Amino acid sequence: MKKLLFILGLFLVTNLFGSKIPTSSVVKIFASVSYFNYEFPWQAPSVYKYTGSGAIIENHQILTSAHVVGGANFIEVLKEGDPNKYIAKIKYISNQSDLAILEVQEESFFNDTKPLALNEKIAHRDPVTVLGYPIGGDSIATTTGIISRIEYTPYVWSKNNLLSIQIDAAINSGNSGGPVINKEGELVGIAMQSLKNASNIGYIVPAILINTFLKDVQDGKIDGLHFTATTTRTIENPTMKKYYNLKDEGVLVTFVDRNDSELKNEDILLTIEGKPIANNGTIDTKLGRVDYKIVLHSKQVGESVRLSVLRDTKIIEVSYKLKYADPLIKMELNQEPKYFIFAGLIFTPLTKNLLTALDKEKYAYEMLFYQQEKNAEFEEPVVFIKTIFPHSVNRGYTSNISVIEFVNGIKIANFAQFVDTINSSQEKYIIIDFIEKKRVILDRIEAIKSFEEIQKVYKIAQDRRI
Confidence at residue 200, expressed as pLDDT on a 0 to 100 scale:
78
Q: Compute the average pLDDT of residues 420-444.
A: 96
Residue pair 33/74 in contact by the 8 Å Cβ criterion? no
CATH homologous superfamily, domain 231-321: PDZ domain (2.30.42.10)
Q: What percent of the chain is modeled with pLDDT above 70?
A: 90
Which has the minimum average pLDDT: 132-136, 322-326, 462-466?
A: 132-136
Say how far apart CA 425 and CA 59 lie, in whole Å: 55
Confidence at residue 337, expressed as pLDDT on a 0 to 100 scale:
97
Instruction: Give the number of other CB atoms < 10 A from CB of residue 335.
Output: 11
What are 273-306's pLDDT values in tens digits? 999 999 999 999 999 999 999 999 999 999 999 9
Q: What are phi and psi of 44, to 5 degrees?
A: -65, 155
Say how far apart CA 264 and CA 318 lie, in whole Å: 11
Residue 96: which residues within 8 A CB-CB, separation 6 or more?
A: 158, 160, 162, 224, 225, 227
Burial 186-200 (b: 16+ CB within 10 A, else e): bbbbbbbbbbeeeee
What are 354-388's pLDDT values in tens digits? 988 887 555 566 556 655 566 657 789 999 999 99
Considering 94, 164, 176, 399, which one is annotated as catalytic?
176
Confidence at residue 394, expressed as pLDDT on a 0 to 100 scale:
97
For domain 339-465, the CATH class is alpha beta
Residue 207: which residues within 8 A CB-CB, separation 6 or more?
A: 118, 119, 120, 122, 187, 188, 189
Say how far apart CA 117 and CA 312 lie, in whole Å: 48
Of residues 7 and 193, more confidence is placed in: 193
Q: Compute the average pLDDT of residues 167-185.
A: 83
Confidence at residue 369, expressed as pLDDT on a 0 to 100 scale:
64
Instruction: For residue 12, name the pLDDT band (cuts at 50, 70, 90).
Output: very low
Residue ranges per domain, the chain? 5-219, 231-321, 339-465
Say how far apart CA 335 and CA 329 lie, in whole Å: 15
Task: Confirm whether 176 is a catalytic residue.
Answer: yes
Instruction: For residue 15, name the pLDDT band (cuts at 50, 70, 90).
Output: very low
Say how far apart CA 64 and CA 170 lie, in whole Å: 20
Confidence at residue 334, expressed as pLDDT on a 0 to 100 scale:
85
By CB atoms closer than 10 A (0-12, 13-18, 19+), residue 360 is: exposed
CA within 13 Å, CB half, 225: 24
Residue 255: which residues within 8 A CB-CB, separation 6 or more?
A: 229, 230, 231, 265, 371
Confidence at residue 366, expressed as pLDDT on a 0 to 100 scale:
59
Q: What percent of the chain is modeled with pLDDT above 90?
A: 77
C-alpha Rg value of the chain to the nearest Å? 25
For the chain, the distance separating the N- and C-terminal CA atoms, rounded to the nearest angstrom, is 42
Confidence at residue 370, expressed as pLDDT on a 0 to 100 scale:
53
Q: Which of 17-26, 159-168, 169-178 has the highest mean pLDDT?
A: 159-168
Say how far apart CA 264 and CA 320 lie, in whole Å: 12
**What is the pTM assigned to this prediction?**
0.89
Fold of 5-219: Thrombin, subunit H (2.40.10)
Instruction: For residue 18, name the pLDDT band (cuts at 50, 70, 90).
Output: very low
Considering 67, 226, 297, 391, which one is annotated as catalytic?
67
CA triple 305-309-314, angle to 5 deg: 145
DSSP 116: P
What are 381-423's pLDDT values in tens digits? 999 999 999 999 999 999 888 999 999 999 999 999 999 999 9
Confidence at residue 174, expressed as pLDDT on a 0 to 100 scale:
64
Say how far apart CA 15 and CA 130 lie, in whole Å: 10
Say how far apart CA 342 and CA 451 lie, in whole Å: 7
Question: Which residues are 151's β-sheet partners?
Answer: 164
Give me the helices (H) in 53-192, please.
Answer: 66-69
Which has the minimum average pLDDT: 192-201, 235-244, 364-373?
A: 364-373
pLDDT above 90 for 329: no
By CB atoms closer than 10 A (0-12, 13-18, 19+), residue 213 is: buried
Task: Confirm whether 67 is a catalytic residue.
Answer: yes
What are 132-155's pLDDT values in tens digits? 986 766 788 888 999 999 999 999
Of residues 457 and 21, more confidence is placed in: 457
